[in-house]
């Protein structure tokens, strides 16, 4: 049973518009959440994270929102650029073991010029 879910396998967005990638989790023990980005033939790279004590974290064009009561987080990319086309993985971990990072299946984002 997947503890981290990304229900949209793919997403297409026009360049300049907002991309919203969603993630849901089931384990209430998770208290730290991360987003990774992966280009073909490369490993995932860390993008942005958020602790459960916050509901928003922003880094340039990227903002992550956390709704703990709904066990839901989202990644907003504004404005979207063609170079943002990649697979985005949501990941979660708990204070009991930050070594055990649980990943979602990923969402493939295509930004159309």
Partner 1 sequence: ETGVTQTPRHLVMGMTNKKSLKCEQHLGHNAMYWYKQSAKKPLELMFVYNFKEQTENNSVPSRFSPECPNSSHLFLHLHTLQPEDSALYLCASRDRDPPNSPLHFGNGTRLTVT
Q: Which is nearer to partner 1, 43 or 113 (CB)?
A: 43
Q: Which is nearer to partner 1, 14 or 96 (CB)?
A: 96
Q: Retrieve residue 43's tokens.
A: 């490993």
Quick one: residue 99, left, alpha or beta (phi over 0 = left, psi -120 to 50 = alpha)? alpha
Q: Retrieve residue 95's tokens.
A: 């204070």
Q: Which of 1, 43, 70, 83 binds partner 1 (CB under 8 A)?
A: 43
Q: Which of 104, 107, 109, 111 binds partner 1 (CB under 8 A)?
A: 104
By CB under 8 A, tell whether 65 contacts partner 1. no
**Residues written for the chain:** 113
Q: Is the peptide bond before 79 cis (omega within 30 degrees of 0)?
A: yes
Q: Which of 7, 12, 27, 51 binds partner 1 (CB under 8 A)?
A: 51
Q: Which is nearer to partner 1, 16 or 105 (CB)?
A: 105
By CB under 8 A, tell whether 1 contacts partner 1. no
Cβ neighbours of 47 (radius 10 Å): 18
CA of residue 3 relative to chain centroid, distance: 14
> Which residues would be at the binding site for partner 1 (CB under 8 A)?
2, 4, 32, 34, 36, 41-46, 49, 51, 89, 93, 95, 98-106
């Amino acid at each position: 049973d997947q503890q981290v879910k990304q229900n949209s396998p793919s997403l297409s967005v026009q360049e300049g518009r907002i991309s919203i990638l969603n993630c849901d989790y089931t384990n209430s023990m998770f208290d730290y959440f991360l987003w990774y980005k992966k280009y073909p033939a490369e490993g995932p790279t860390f993008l942005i994270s958020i602790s459960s004590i916050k509901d928003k974290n922003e880094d340039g064009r990227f903002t992550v929102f956390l709704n703990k009561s709904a066990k839901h987080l989202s990644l907003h990319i504004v404005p979207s650029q063609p170079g943002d086309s990649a697979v985005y993985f949501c990941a979660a971990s708990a204070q009991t073991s930050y070594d055990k990072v649980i990943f979602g299946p990923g969402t493939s984002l295509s930004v159309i010029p």
